[in-house]
Amino acid sequence: MAANQIEVTEPIPIFKVAHRFLLYDVNHVTYLRREHNISGVLTGTLPQVSQQNVFLGLPLELMPEEARLLVEKEIAYVVDDTEEHKRNFLGKGLGAEERKAFQAALRKQGQAAAQDASKKADERKKAALKKITEKTGDWNDIPDDMFEAGPRRGKKASRARPEPARAACTNGDDEDESLFASPANSFPSKTIRAPSTASTNPAEHEPYPITPTTSYPPLQAKKPETSDLPGVPPSYPLYKHLHQNGYFMAPGIRFGCQYMAYPGDPLRFHSHFLCNGMNWDQEFDLLDLVGGGRLGTGVKKGFLVGGEEKTSDTNNHENKDVRTFCIEWGGM
């Protein structure tokens, strides 16, 4: 089933589940990645399917820093997933008309998916017919089931077709005549067949069952009037500074740092920096700088540390500068 491009309107809902910030709508995921340099981490898996460390799906988990940045820019808002489900399902619930409208919408999606699948099957069948006729030049070499609409039968089913029974001779004279004479119908004439076009009437296709990935509709994820900003670690100023300069930010746990900074989409670029954010007056061990610099150089990246510069005006949080330092290991 091909995903349709749906226009996204801001702000979009971010669902908070067990202190984690999740996105369930694929249109929201692609929109944030394309327009706001937010990549997140796919966490969805299927049970008993191997290689889940590579091929993951929805939902997309956002770092607290990503959620905080989107809320501050009024691009998104946080919805308490548990409270919203309790209020909508255990409270007033859905009315009869709302339930019918939701079921009709699901049936319409299933009908469109079935029609699309049938159309693709017909296109594959036409391509196979064309390939066979170009190879043999005779329509009679094509199995009968390829001219029928719908999925093709297996080879065993096509081989099991009964052959037309020959007319039994009941008269002795006719039997003698058939032994020595050459009847005109001893060699059956070939019938020229033409490929038939399968019907594409939407009403003839059984709708596919659709499992919604989101709870809205039928629920309404309304923006709360007042909400608290997501809590963030002390490294948030560094994250915000790099994001404002066009970097894609991703968790850096695989390299023992807080963030990995990409100059563009992670699908196109390797990360350039291993980033750690600190407070301005925070004390740290010199060996951490040496180890980070050697690690960054070993994996062909720079080790970047930074923090928000301390000023005398403690109430002004918007105009504070963030200073960054890049450390590399030079072998001697």
Residues designated as active site: 262, 270, 301
Interatomic CA distance for residues 123 and 150, integer angstroms: 11
φ and ψ at 305, to 5 degrees?
-125, 150
Q: Which pair of structure tokens corresponds to residue 325?
A: 């330092």
Q: Is there a contact between 274 and 255 (Cβ–Cβ < 8 Å)?
A: yes
Going through 205-257 in order, the beta strands assigned E by DSSP cover 248-251
Interatomic CA distance for residues 107 and 112, integer angstroms: 9
Q: Which pair of structure tokens corresponds to residue 250?
A: 């991703």
Q: What is the crossing angle of helices 236-244 and 64-72, to 10°? A: 60
Q: Which pair of structure tokens corresponds to residue 102?
A: 């939701």
**CA-based end-to-end distance of the chain:** 58
Going through 209-301 in order, the beta strands assigned E by DSSP cover 248-251, 259-262, 273-277
Coil vs helix vs strand at 80: strand
How many residues can be counted in the chain?
A: 332
